[in-house]
Every structure is written in C-alpha cells, then in structure tokens.
Structure 1
Amino acid sequence: MCDPDGDYCYDKFNVCRGIFCGEAGQCVPVDTKPTCVCDPGYTNETYSLYCEPLAAR
C-alpha cells in the first residue's frame, strides 16, 4: 500500500515493517497506517516518519 499524501509505502498486513523512525522514535500502527511516536525532545513535524531533535527546526 502507498500513501498518496505521505509519499511512502507500507505493508498493509504489518504496517511498521521496514519503517525506521530514527534512534528517538518508534513506529506504531494508527488507523491502519504507520506512525512515528517520538521520544521527549524530538518531533516528526518535518518528516512524518522520522523523529529529529526539536532544536533542528
């Protein structure tokens, strides 16, 4: 499956397979799509599937 808005593809049966959110994040399925949950002090506002330090913005 590919997400037209997010410019990424994912496995609809295991949505987090192959999704790497960075060292400070973890992929979780939300509404059958991969979503990165970032550690405190990190954000995924710039790249929806990658967590980067807040200071990087």
Structure 2
Amino acid sequence: MQKLKTRRSAIKRYKKTANDNYLRRRANKGHLLEKKSSSRKRKLCGHITVENTEKSIIKKFFNK
C-alpha cells in the first residue's frame, strides 16, 4: 500500500500547535475591505483554534 501524502492545501491554511490543536485564519478578510468598518476588520485579524468537529477532519490531512 502506498504511503499517504500530506494535503499541501492544509499545510498552507492550518498550523499545528503543541497541544495537538490547529490554528486558522478568520474568514471575510481577503477582499472587499473598503466597505467594512475598521473595528470589524480589526476583529477579523489574528488566528483562532479550530473547533473539535473540524479537528478530526483536519487531522487526516496531516498524515504525520
């Protein structure tokens, strides 16, 4: 059986922490930023941890 490859898109989007959690960016910060208020854009910056429901799916992408 072949060795499973790591999903490269997951490597680019998620970062694994020491406690086996994953960090991700918030949505809606990519484009159309002129009409969003400064406070809304400020709340969208930074990283947050992935919920437990998605954690099992993302863990399969990191086959290490």
TM range (shorter): under 0.3
Q: Which has the higher helix share?
A: 2
Higher-RCO chain (CA-CA 8 Å, sequence separation at least 6): 2
From the CA coordinates, give the structure whose radius of gyration is larger. Answer: 2
TM-score normalised according to structure 2 size: 0.24
Q: Which has the higher strand share?
A: 1
